[in-house]
Structure 1
């Protein structure tokens, strides 16, 4: 949902290097964790489907205040998990940049933004489900929280980096970016609701896809006891 829609050369060189290094470090940790712990076949299939859906939706840009859109990263995180979710964020950004949707130099920054959405959404969903929340409010709240975290991180990256060629003082840039973040927070609620409906449907037909088999089995046993 959050994405830095700036052209090549918009960030100073030091900022490009910083976000690229941090993004590469994140992906390095993710790859190490996957190689060490392995992944299930189910997760690979889900990652492929989620990545394709995210990429397709990601290309539908609404030309408002520099461009806003949905990208389903909250749903990606809930279904594929935080590790594969971060890799999907990278892949979607690479393919999007190849199509001119986002600068190549901002791959590191945008991967950080979108990976954070998937990671926060996953852990928020697991936490809320662990607190016995129903599937719909848990997934809606988790996705909204994850997308909101990404929007705030996006704004922070832009303000910290500054924009080359901008005549706005840093204070005015912060105000302008805050407006963009606020707009994205509103879209986060809409995308969160959409994610809630999707996860609720999946939980009703294939609870194993969202990792709820144990919980549903426990609930059923409690009812029959």
Structure 2
């Protein structure tokens, strides 16, 4: 949901190097973990569907205060998990930058922002389920918190980096960015509720996609049905 809509050359070189390095490190860690762990085939299918859906809705930009939109990263994290969710964030940002939606030089920064949304949403969702929350409030709260984390991280990255050519002092820039973050927090609530409805629907038709059905139980049920 959060995204740095700034052009090429907006950030100083040191900031581009910093965020790109951190982004590459995050992607490298995710790829390493994926290669070490067994990824189920249905998770890969979900990752493909999630990437396509996220990219599609990501292009619907509302031209308010630099641009706001939804991108379903909270839902992607809940369904695909934190590792595949991180890779999906990278893929979506690459395709978006290729279409002029976001600077190529900000791929590292934007991947950090969107990956944090997926990662936080996943872990909060799983934690709330362990606390016996129902899927709807758990997914709504998880997605909202994940998207909020991404919005705050976006603001921190902009303020820390500074903006080349901006006449605003750092204090005024912080105030302006805080307003943008606040707007994104409001959108996070809306997207969180939508995510809750989607997850609740999936729970009713395919709870196995969310890991809410034990594999042995599911196989046993299938054998009985046959």
Q: Output the TM-score relative to the length of structure 1.
A: 0.95
Gaps of 5+ in 1: 218-225
- Where does 1:60-99 land on structure 2 (aligned, <5 Å)? 60-99=60-99
Residues in 2 aligned to 1:94 and 1:201: alpha-carbon distance in whole angstroms: 30
4+ runs deviating over 4 angstroms: none
Once the two structures are TM-superposed, the CA of residue 107 in structure 1 deviates from its matched residue by 0.0
Once the two structures are TM-superposed, the CA of residue 213 in structure 1 deviates from its matched residue by 1.0
Three-state SS of the structure 2 residue aligned to 1:9 is: coil
- Counterpart of 1:179? 179
Residues in 1 aligned to 2:71 and 2:110: alpha-carbon distance in whole angstroms: 12
- Counterpart of 1:42? 42
Once the two structures are TM-superposed, the CA of residue 211 in structure 1 deviates from its matched residue by 1.1
- Counterpart of 1:138? 138
Q: CA RMSD in A?
A: 1.0
- Counterpart of 1:198? 198
- Counterpart of 1:16? 16
Residues in 2 aligned to 1:13 and 1:206: alpha-carbon distance in whole angstroms: 47
Once the two structures are TM-superposed, the CA of residue 21 in structure 1 deviates from its matched residue by 0.2
Q: Output the TM-score relative to the length of structure 2.
A: 0.94
Gaps of 5+ in 2: 218-226
- Counterpart of 1:149? 149
Residues in 2 aligned to 1:203 and 1:46: alpha-carbon distance in whole angstroms: 15
Three-state SS of the structure 2 residue aligned to 1:22 is: helix
Aligned residue-pair number = 216
- Counterpart of 1:25? 25
